Amino acid sequence: MDHQVGLKPASRLGASTSVNRPKWTEAILGRDWRVAIPFVAPLVIIMAGLILWPFINAILLSMTVRSVVTRTDQYVGFANYARLLQDSDFITSVGNTLQFTLVSVAVKFVVGMAIALLLNSKLWFRSILTGIMLLPWIVPEVVTALTWRSIYDPIFGGLNPILMQLGLINRPVAWLAEPGLAMASVIAVNVWKGIPFYTILLLAGLKAIEREQYEAAEVDGAGVIQKFRHITLPGLRYVILVTVLLSFISTFNTFGLIYLMTGGGPGGATRMFSILAYEKAIIGLRFGPGIATAFSMAPLMAIIIFILARVMRPEQYSTAKNNETFMDRSLRVFGRGLTRILDLVFLPFEWLAQVLGGLSKSILQPTATSKPRFTRTQRTRMGIGMRLLLLLPMLIFVLFPFYWIFITSFKTDLQIQRFSSIYWPQPWTIEQYRSLIVDTQFLTWFKNTVIVASLSTLVSVFVAALAAYALARLKFTGGRLLTTLLLVTYLLPGSLLFIPLYRILTEIGIINTHAALVVTYPTFLMPFATWVMLGYFRSIPVELEEAALIDGANRLVAFWRITLPLAAPALLSVTLFAFTNAWNEFLFAFVFITSESLKTLPVGLQLLVFGDIYPWGQLMAASLLMAIPVVCVYIYAQRYLVEGITAGSVKG
């Protein structure tokens, strides 16, 4: 009886079945279009005004040149793009970008996979080791660049004395000043910074593979390499594809890390296409050629984004087998070819594993009738010890920059200049911190960063929560398209937008203000936050909201009182992620803010450098103080951050 009485008010579920409402509007716009408008309007306004319009504006602007005489933009069609084919700087920068990206992605994948496999096995202190391996991800980009620049310094750095003591080099090496070494040096830093991303996603994928598959393979006599080849890799196929493509996009469009370390030098050896675009558009004020340089890579990005969208949103592209597209057939052929290549690559490793397996068996148990030399517990401990030994070089690689920041910040200038007590301050001093706070505008930059990061995070999370709820619960025309566009926006690199955004912010008069950052930061914070919240809202039972709607609540009340509290873990995750990214952001703050008193920390730390003179003590002290808030957030909510990244990047 109660159920029957509750059926009438159930029309509130859609909030669009009013008797007086024309039926044709529902047929065209969807059942919940009126309710959806206030939920998705902020998202649509931001996407249209700060992403779509700048993107269109950039395309139009890339077809113009600035007249020196009239100081107006003159339309030249595709001439700017055509000139790039004869531009030696552009051709070199594209080559540099491809080299940097392909080598970095390959090394990060191999190292990340190795770490994930070790962390997924039986280890002592595994949770602590996992947390340590993820530390480079939370370090601000400017801190990463300055720290490694200090380590690479040929006079005051820590790398040269270590290698000289090991006998690997016989003289100090200028790692960032020699064209032949600069690229390898920045690739190593990118690998250090990118290891956590691969580790997080691959570790999540490994945990999802059923243990029974490995047990069945062991019964059939499969070795370690065979299990990895035939169980682990196929089980990680989706995760690997998503991870590699996402990493390719972010690595290909790297700007801040390389710009802060080398400025594109020496002699253009590390100049990426994004740096060249910045030099043309912002420094040279040639917006048309600069945007053309940035957009020249847009077709490649479009192909990768399209493939990634198909992988992460397969229901949008589902087709019958006889209606396969060219892309479907190409991906299938590529997959088969990659499988054949992997078979050839792993064949010698399988042989080697068989030989080593036979040797270890003969050592541990010389004959078939003799007892094993070691008990099962001893063999288990030996295995754990071997895995820890394999993990040790990676731990040193991850932790050394943190150690270098810490000890350098407590040294006097005299210790640093004389290169005395390299690995330990003698004596310890807080002079660098006192000088940083008293003699520089560090506290002002810190305050600016807190304001900008807090406001932009608040705006981004608020808009993302509303939009994600509408996309997960309401039926309206364009919802699926908006979801796909959201993914594309999430993947759209900032290097394609910062030049047109600079023009737009200048025209509306908010360039060189904190408002410029608060307005533009949601362009890269909001898509990810919406994507994560969307997946989480879909996992919450809809019956809870239906009960509230039957009791007389409207959609907004049900969202605010029922759904949002249940989504608190995801809300915390995206809030922390958004704040961390806003705190660390460099490119927009570097381009849009010119006043010293308005700069944020990532950009302000540059002002401590005078020409070629680097006050390493102050810089390391500032780096440590800048990283502390992010580290505290990370320690407090490590689990939520990891779940958020996994949900947003893998589960979709």
Task: Measure the CA–CA gap between 510 and 520, rounded to whole angstroms.
Answer: 11
Q: Token pair for residue 257?
A: 């890390």
pLDDT band at 372 (very low <50, low <70, confident <90, very high): low
What are the backbone angles phi and psi of residue 74, rounded to the nearest 5°? -110, 135
pLDDT exceeds cutoff 80 at 521 = yes
Q: What is the mean pLDDT of the chain?
A: 80
Residue 558 covered by a domain: yes
Contact 601, 446 (CB under 8 A): yes
Map tokens 């047929």 to a residue: 27
pLDDT band at 652 (very low <50, low <70, confident <90, very high): very low
For residue 600, give the nearest of 485, 486, 445 by alpha carbon: 445
pLDDT of residue 2: 40
Domain count, the chain: 3
Q: Does one domain contain both 561 and 462?
A: yes
Map tokens 């300055």 to a residue: 146
Q: Which stretch, 86-95, 208-217, 320-329, 568-577, has highest mean pLDDT?
A: 86-95
Q: Does one domain contain both 31 and 85?
A: no
Q: Token pair for residue 246?
A: 């996402």
Residue 626 covered by a domain: yes
More confident residue, 12 or 372: 372
Residue 97 covered by a domain: yes
Find the radius of gyration of the CA atoms of the chain. Answer: 28
Q: Does one domain contain both 282 and 354?
A: no
- Say what the alpha-carbon torsion angle 294, 297, 298, 302 is, to the nearest 10 degrees: -150
pLDDT exceeds cutoff 80 at 31 = no
Residue 8 covered by a domain: no
Task: Measure the CA–CA gap between 109 and 202, rounded to whole angstroms.
Answer: 9
Q: Does one domain contain both 350 and 437?
A: no
The pLDDT of 6-11, averaged and rounded, is 40
Q: 3-state DSSP call for residue 11?
A: helix
Residue 14 covered by a domain: no
Q: Does one domain contain both 154 and 50?
A: no
Which of 305, 333, 364 is the C-terminal boundary of a domain? Answer: 364
pLDDT of residue 127: 78
Q: Does one domain contain both 83 and 50?
A: no
pLDDT exceeds cutoff 80 at 379 = no
- CA distances (Å), origin 379, targets 217, 220, 455: 21, 22, 55
pLDDT exceeds cutoff 50 at 4 = no
Q: 3-state DSSP call for residue 336?
A: helix
pLDDT of residue 121: 82
Q: Does one domain contain both 141 and 233?
A: yes
pLDDT of residue 23: 66
Greatest C-alpha distance within the chain: 95
pLDDT exceeds cutoff 90 at 474 = no
Which of 317, 343, 375 is the C-terminal boundary of a domain? Answer: 317
Task: Measure the CA–CA gap between 306 and 342, rounded to whole angstroms.
Answer: 25
Task: Measure the CA–CA gap between 209 and 230, rounded to whole angstroms.
Answer: 12
- CA distances (Å), origin 233, targets 178, 298, 343: 39, 31, 12
Residue 379 covered by a domain: no
More confident residue, 206 or 455: 455
More confident residue, 254 or 25: 254
More confident residue, 567 or 449: 449
pLDDT exceeds cutoff 70 at 178 = yes
Contact 200, 645 (CB under 8 A): yes
Least confident range of 235-249, 372-386, 415-429? 372-386
Q: Does one domain contain both 41 and 98?
A: no
Containing domain of residue 45, as a range?
Answer: 27-61+432-652
| Alpha helices by DSSP H, 139-178 | 141-152, 159-165
Read off the CATH number of the domain in which 220 is found.
Answer: 1.10.3720.10
Residue 69 covered by a domain: no
Which of 364, 390, 421 is the C-terminal boundary of a domain? Answer: 364
pLDDT of residue 325: 62
Least confident range of 88-102, 541-555, 600-614? 541-555
pLDDT exceeds cutoff 90 at 553 = no
Task: Measure the CA–CA gap between 460 and 466, rounded to whole angstroms.
Answer: 10
pLDDT exceeds cutoff 70 at 296 = yes
Task: Measure the CA–CA gap between 81 and 242, rounded to whole angstroms.
Answer: 31
Task: Measure the CA–CA gap between 267 and 248, rounded to whole angstroms.
Answer: 25
Give the pLDDT confidence of 243-285 residue by residue, as tens digits. 888 888 889 988 889 998 998 989 899 999 989 988 888 888 7
String of DSSP letters for 557-607: HHIIIIIHHHTHHHHHHHHHHHHHHHHH--HHHHHH---GGG--HHHHGGG
pLDDT band at 1 (very low <50, low <70, confident <90, very high): very low
Determine if the pTM surpasses 0.85: no
Give the pLDDT confidence of 119-142 residue by residue, as tens digits. 888 888 877 888 788 788 878 888
Distance between terminal CA atoms of the chain? 41
Q: Does one domain contain both 349 and 257?
A: no
Give me the percent of the chain exceeding a pLDDT of 70.
Answer: 81
pLDDT of residue 7: 38
How many CB atoms sit inside 10 A of residue 372's CB?
12
Q: Does one domain contain both 269 and 137?
A: yes
Contact 516, 592 (CB under 8 A): yes
Residue 598 covered by a domain: yes
How many CB atoms sit inside 10 A of residue 157's CB?
23
pLDDT of residue 649: 44
pLDDT exceeds cutoff 80 at 21 = no
Q: Does one domain contain both 467 and 584?
A: yes
Task: Measure the CA–CA gap between 407 and 425, rounded to whole angstroms.
Answer: 6
pLDDT exceeds cutoff 50 at 11 = no
pLDDT of residue 258: 92
The pLDDT of 67-78, averaged and rounded, is 77
Q: Does one domain contain both 298 and 329?
A: no
